[in-house]
Structure 1
Amino acid sequence: MREGDAVLIAAQSGRALAQSARRAGLRPYVLDLFGDADTLDLAEAHRTLPGRFGTGRHGTDAVLAGLNALAGLVGKRVFGVILGSGFEGSPALMARIAAHYRLVGAGPGTVAALKDPMLFAALCERLAIPHPRVTTAPVSNRYAWLTKRSGGSGGSHIRAATAGAAPPGHYYQARMRGRACALNFLADGRDVAVLALTQQWSRPSALRPFRFAGAVAPGRDEPSHVSPNMLAAITGAVAGLVKATALRGLASADLLVDGDAWWLLEINPRPGATLDAFDRRPTPLLAAHIEASLGRMPRLDAPPVDAAGSEICYAARRYTSVPPLDWPDFARDRPRDGSSVAGDAPFCTVTAQGPDTAAVRHTLRERAGTIAALLDGRTESHGYRYQAAEHQQADGPADRPAGR
């Protein structure tokens, strides 16, 4: 990688990756579903796609055509393609992309192994990793099970289990109690380097009771919310999966922790929603992602002293035309003036830093309220309803898809 290299970015929302690419001295060319105002400011060029990535033959061809169009604007060699959310259920599409461009991050074979629920469950069983039971067959007590979409992300695809066999493209996973967290790490195909263990929470709606809301990376000197032995066990389990699947690049492991017990829900083999919180070390995180993707584990700088986090603000109603807004500095993923946002869909993201996790979560709550008040034309923000951490967390689209 050289200063000024061009990279293609494809994701449901490409803003965070584009921002990290700029910090790493790269020129981002972005293909995503939104074309948010700050994404357009960061990108050298941008193309917008409708719908969900890789849905049917038309969706696959549209992704490839979009990447080729952006590559044609580069004017010199493209270093590679960085994939974000939206490809977890499309390893075949990833393979088609890899036939034309260097993939930065997990390869299609790795994603296929990690995101197929039955293969992943079998792998966890072989490695003695605690993982909830999964099945596609009818379940006797459907209140003890959840329905999830294979390759889903963001939690918006999770529902209570239904009668009969799981719908096509879905599976049942046993409900488990616990607090949601995630181990964020770098992988080089052989080993892992831990970035942080984040705390996560959800903001349920009537249609999406488990949708992801936000996460906080703790400050350097904060005590961990899990014991050293548990953290070592989780890290060892993730390292075993990395070796078994040759996972490379930035990734995260979604977990539930309940007292002395823990369960690994899934691996997200890509840069995730907490990229803003992590890309604060002297060495740009995307540069580390590229090095690890090439099979060379970089030496990580010490984590920041303060905590940082982000939270998604969901639209309380449909906006057929987003009005001009006086956006605060802490708002990201800002929809363009005049664009449409479906009710219950992500509207923007708020970020915060603070001395510890509690302070950051308090600030995020206030800032989410500020956005709600801004949309309502109010000056007070105390009416914003904030949802505490959800007990069953895991990782869908209208005008603005529900997963980022």
Structure 2
Amino acid sequence: MKNLKKLALASAVAALTIGGTAVAEDVIRFATWNGEENLEIQYEIAKLFEAENPGVKVQVESYADGYDKKLIAAFGAGSPPDVMYMWNYPKYYKSLLPLDDLMARDAEEMNLSDIPAALINTTRIDGKAYGMPAGFTTHVVFYNKDMFAAAGVEEPKEGWTWADLREKAAKFRDKEGKTYGIAVSAKPDPFDFEQFLWSNGTRFISQDGKTIDGFMNSPEAVEVLDMFAEMARNEEAVLVGVGENSSSSALFKGGKIAMFQSAMWSKAGIEAAGINYGVAHLPSFGDKPVHSSVPASAMSVAKDGKNLELAWKYVKFFSSPAAVKLRTNDLPIRTSVAEELNMTSDPVFKPFFDILAVSDRETNAFLKHENWGKIQTNLERAIEATMLGKGDAKTNLDDAVARSARHLN
């Protein structure tokens, strides 16, 4: 309520009049991690907002590859941007404005029911939302239609399982030609890897963020890690991330693997490589429900900003249908926009939205504990050791849990 009172007192637009001409006095600063690529989209959205709000100027600040360094420096100097792109809430949330009261106040105006809950959940710390979703992806399996046809292998179908994937992958194994069904990484990003644990009925850390024993090293977690290690040993998959092996992306674009588990960020490169591809849902573990991690960008507001009401107004505009349609580099956060663009029925895009609808029940581990980074280091070692055949999954995950105990206090 304190923040709402501050918002109510803030002036939305202030202008000086000189000789009958209004001079813009309200400027909001928006920090983006976009560099040259996609930066023009940010300028288009800013200009559209300015056109609808005379007397207001949006200053787009491109921090590009130095995003975190520049953002930390700005907060440290007491001069943060009013609005900023955000994903790392554990690092910044104490300096950000919780948005729940504002979203509740403007829920009807914003048509919040049009934005999937799974996206807003990616911004929550201790139950509070610190960002308004801007763009997202879920995970899918890209597959090479020409390779499937040449090998006489049936293309993936909705409802397929990891057993189905492994059976198909084995049919592409050609050691002499260095061709395989799929690639698995010795060093997967735990942020994305946790989706496989969710799909097998477990997670890295308890929902309350207090316990990893019985979760990270649970039988279900062991089964997942053992499965991927076994796929590499059996050469159903080629192991990447070690030695001279190329990346999964490069192998798929080079026609050396028939399937590629990835996300929206890989689509443009696959198309540029001229691959005749299809998109399949993530496979399931038997009859258990499938989940995906949801990498998402969002718009956050600095809690000590000079004009909170105007900053929030820009955040709202950024999530409006008009602005969402301009963001062609992301999947649209609004269901209505996705439907209008026929994405929810297009076979290439449909799997991304299908799995989003059932991926709102889990929260990534990094959002649950302030020391997750230290715990994750032990987890990464356990995963890599298992993938390289240095011990079994159970032993390595038990070791990670034991080493991480002191970080939970």
TM-score normalised per structure 1: 0.27
Larger Rg: 2
Structure number with the bigger relative contact order (C-alpha 8 A, sep ≥ 6) is: 2
Name the structure with the higher helix share.
Answer: 2
Q: Going by fraction, where is strand more abundant, 1 or 2?
A: 1
Q: Normalization by structure 2: what TM-score? A: 0.27
